[in-house]
Structure 1
Amino acid sequence: MRIDVEDLRVAYAGRTVLAGVRVVAEDGEIAGVVGPNGSGKSTLLRTVYRHLRPTAGRVLLDGADLRALSASRAARHVAALPQERGGDFELSVREIVAMGRTPYKRAFAGDDDTDRAAVERALADTGLAAHAGRRYTDLSGGERQRALLAKAFAQDPDVLVLDEPTNHLDVRHQTELLTLLRVRRRTTLLSLHDLNAAAAVCDRLHVLHGGAVVASGPPREVLTPALLSRVFGVRAAVTDHPLTGDPLIAFDHRAPAGG
């Protein structure tokens, strides 16, 4: 399914956070949202997964206004991993992941074979099958992150909305997660601080700065030295990754942008 964010404006506490934002993620495409801290990335994603109501504009799912859907129907289509990870759940990892099946159930209904298969696949995909019986509260930060990702995968959505999904993950698990997103090929809208990871995994990038989209397109076209200097305030060179051929950003850690 395709996601279109049309002329989105979000304001709260007397401050405009997003103004006239237009973002798209085509069917099966991984679209990244990047930008400096405070640029509005999380606000944009919260609006897409309906945690925030926009002041103006709309979010379309295959042309239909996402706000017009019931909460349960919307949850069948869109799964989210917010930055706010919630409290310490006194549940097992398997129970946390099984919560992703809630949109498909009637009240008090038990798990069926489809539910169980979805949960087991999500556990395996995130490397948590051996930890399924552990309590969530006993997990490390990275393991908790993977458990919540598994919950989103178990939801079997058409669209994934992931806010900094690689937070707390070590290099191996970051790489495995990004590979998994490419293999699964669900329409995905995600924010990333790591620009090299964004360049490697995303088909399209949207750059936010000051609550507005200042550039959109393929990573190689978007991540130029001029944009990195103007938006992120860094001096950098962009070359080809020696192993993958993806754009590789080399930052000058000794001098500021323009220095």
Structure 2
Amino acid sequence: MRIAVEDLSVALSGRTVVAGVHLVAKEGEIAGLVGPNGSGKSSLLRTVYRHLRPSAGRVLLAGRELDELSPAQSARHIAALPQERGGDFELTVREVVAMGRTPYKRAFAADDAEDHRIVAEALVRVGMTDAAARRFAQLSGGERQRVLLARALAQQPDVLVLDEPTNHLDVRHQVELLALLREQRRTTLVALHDLNAAASVCDRLHVLHRGTLVASGAPREVLTAELLAEVFGVRAAVVEHPLTGDPLIAFDHRTPADVPPRPARQTIS
């Protein structure tokens, strides 16, 4: 299902944090949002899963304005994994994942066999089946992240909205999560700090800087040394990943982009 952001602006406490953004995630496409801290990525995503109302512009789901849908209808189509995780649930892992079935149920209705099947499948997909009976509050940050992703998958949404989904995950589980996103082929909007991960998993990248959209395109087109210097303030070379062929960014961790490199040392023989 296609999702489109049209001329979107967002204001927080009277300050514009997103200004006039246009972008589209086509059906089955993984669209990445990248940009420095404070560039407006999370605020934009919050309008898509209706945690914030835009000050201008609109969000369209399959050509229909989100505001026309009830919260329950929206939740059947769009599932979110936000950065703010809420409090420590006094629930088991299985119960937290089962919350993803809420949009399909009447108030106080018990889970049926189909709900149990969907929840079990979601736990398998994130590798948390063995933890199903544990308390959510007892989990590590990375384990919680995987459980909340399972809850989003249990909604069986057409669109996934993920804000920094690899936070708290070790390298193996980061790789597994990104592989899962590719396998799902659901329409996905995902904000990522890790530019190499974004280059690997995303079909298209949208670069935000100071609340405006400054570049859109395939990762290979967007992630240039010039853009990395201008937007992120880093010196970097973009090369081909030796294993996957994806763009691979090699950062200069010694010298910021706005500092001239030191001349090479000369040795006297």
Q: Distance in 2 between matches of 1:159 and 1:118?
A: 17
Residue 169 of structure 1 is matched in structure 2 by 169
Measure how far apart 1:229 and its partner are: 0.2
Residue 16 of structure 1 is matched in structure 2 by 16
Measure how far apart 1:162 and its partner are: 0.3
Residue 200 of structure 1 is matched in structure 2 by 200
**Equivalent residues in 2 for 1:25-104, closer than 5 Å:** 25-104=25-104
Q: Distance in 2 between matches of 1:241 and 1:113?
A: 45
Q: Distance in 2 between matches of 1:67 and 1:173?
A: 36
Q: Percent identity?
A: 74
AA aligned to 1:158 is D
- More divergent stretch after superposition (107-116 vs 13-22): 107-116
Measure how far apart 1:39 and its partner are: 0.3
Aligned to 1:122, the other structure's residue is in SS state helix
**Equivalent residues in 2 for 1:110-125, closer than 5 Å:** 110-125=110-125
Q: Distance in 2 between matches of 1:61 and 1:178?
A: 24
Instruction: Render the CA deviation track for 1:74-126: whole Å, top value 9, x for unaligned.
Output: 00000001100000000000000000000000111111222111101110000
**Equivalent residues in 2 for 1:107-186, closer than 5 Å:** 107-186=107-186
AA aligned to 2:11 is A
AA aligned to 2:194 is D
* Structure 1 outlier segments of 4+, above 6 Å: none
Q: Distance in 1 between matches of 2:200 and 2:98?
A: 31
Aligned to 1:79, the other structure's residue is in SS state strand
Instruction: Render the CA deviation track for 1:13-42: whole Å, top value 9, x for unaligned.
Output: 121111100111100000000000000000
Number of matched pairs:
259
TM-score (norm 1): 0.99
Q: Distance in 2 between matches of 1:78 and 1:113?
A: 23
Aligned to 2:54, the other structure's residue is in SS state coil
Aligned to 2:134, the other structure's residue is in SS state coil
AA aligned to 2:123 is L
AA aligned to 1:148 is L
Aligned to 1:9, the other structure's residue is in SS state strand
Aligned to 2:80, the other structure's residue is in SS state strand
Measure how far apart 1:10 and its partner are: 0.8
Instruction: Render the CA deviation track for 1:43-89: whole Å, top value 9, x for unaligned.
Output: 00001100000011000001000111000000000000110000000
Q: Distance in 2 between matches of 1:14 and 1:94?
A: 41
Computed over aligned residues only, the root mean square deviation of the Cα atoms, in angstroms, reads 0.6
Measure how far apart 1:220 and its partner are: 0.3
Q: Distance in 2 between matches of 1:118 and 1:24?
A: 29
TM-score (norm 2): 0.95
Q: Distance in 1 between matches of 2:131 and 2:78?
A: 26
Measure how far apart 1:205 and its partner are: 0.3
Q: Distance in 2 between matches of 1:115 and 1:78?
A: 18
AA aligned to 1:142 is G
Q: If you compute each CA radius of gyration, which structure gives the higher value, 1 or 2?
A: 2
Q: Distance in 2 between matches of 1:199 and 1:113?
A: 40
Residue 242 of structure 1 is matched in structure 2 by 242
Measure how far apart 1:12 and its partner are: 2.1
Q: Distance in 2 between matches of 1:129 and 1:12?
A: 40
Aligned to 1:142, the other structure's residue is in SS state helix
Q: Distance in 1 between matches of 2:208 and 2:200?
A: 19
AA aligned to 1:5 is V
